[in-house]
Homo-oligomer: A and B are copies of this chain.
Amino acid sequence: MPKIDVGRIWSLNYRLLTSVIIDVAPGIAELGLEIKELFVLAEVDAHPHPAELAGVLCMPKPSVTMYVKRLEAAGFLRREIDSADLRRHRLILTPEGRKTMARGLALLSKAFGSRLARLKPAQQSELAALLEKLS
């Protein structure tokens, strides 16, 4: 059996993601967002606390601080003090933030989806399942 070239899988995948990000950045910018801010918005429902967001998104805490600050200033989310733990900030999407997030994710889906479309539906499911196992 042929040995898989890990480096090749890696670089194919890396370039795929990078080029999709480059494609999609201008559209995202029109929404008043940066890509990473969109990632933050997209995880706020599931992980409403900054420290969790940093963990889930693999980004340092100060970056989250800054993105949250900007997202808040833009009216896309607000924060409440968690009364059970006064250190924690609970983040909440505003309706505007939710709408903008949906638009941003739609752009990303469209850009990535147009590549995914090269695969048959069954292959797309297969890819999703394989990535799921890797994560």
A interface list, Cβ under 8 A from B: 1-2, 4-20, 22, 39, 42, 56-58, 105, 108-109, 112-113, 115-116, 118-119, 121, 123-128, 130-135
Contact = CB atoms under 8 A, between A and B. Distances in A.
Given A7-B42, A121-B4, A131 B18 contact: no
A9 B128 contact: yes
Given A9-B112, A112-B10, A58 B22 contact: yes
A131 B12 contact: yes
B134 A130 contact: no
Contacts of A39: 11, 14
A112 B6 contact: yes
A6 B116 contact: yes
Given A10-B20, A15-B57, A126-B130, 10 more contacts: A4-B125, A7-B42, A9-B131, A10-B109, A12-B132, A12-B134, A116-B134, A119-B134, A123-B130, A123-B133
A116 B130 CA distance: 9
A78 B8 CA distance: 25
Contacts of A2: 125
15 contacts: A2-B125, A4-B121, A5-B128, A9-B116, A10-B112, A11-B39, A12-B132, A12-B134, A13-B131, A16-B131, A16-B134, A18-B57, A18-B58, A119-B133, A123-B130
